[in-house]
Amino acid sequence: MTHSTRNQGALICGGAALAGLLFLIGVLSGSYLALAIPVAILVFFALGLAFWVGWTILTVQVEPEAEVAPPAAQTAPPTTSSSGR
């Protein structure tokens, strides 16, 4: 693992801890926005994810499969018996 990757991990952990601390302070002070903002972010994230899944399904390009003859329709070459009877 590179040094820059560890620095990025440390920044992410620090940012999450800071956001958690700010959320806890807001909840303990009775702020409505401390709950409304994270809930709104989660709701819009879930809606965006649902829209992305729907859009992906809507716009996917599927190539039709090549038609394959059923096994009963294929004819086998005649076989010759060499038993000598």
Residue 28 is assigned to a structural domain of this protein: yes
Residue 29 is assigned to a structural domain of this protein: yes
Confirm if 17 and 10 have CB atoms less than 8 A apart. Answer: no
- DSSP structural state of residue 12: H
Domain count, the chain: 1
- Structural domain span for residue 49: 3-59
pLDDT tens-digit map of 39-77:
999 999 999 999 999 999 999 888 888 887 667 655 666
Residue 69 is assigned to a structural domain of this protein: no
Residue 71 is assigned to a structural domain of this protein: no
**Tokens 């693992």 sit on residue:** 1
pTM of the model: 0.54
Residue 73 is assigned to a structural domain of this protein: no
Q: Is 80 left (phi over 0), alpha (psi -120 to 50) or beta?
A: beta
Confirm if 22 and 35 have CB atoms less than 8 A apart. Answer: no
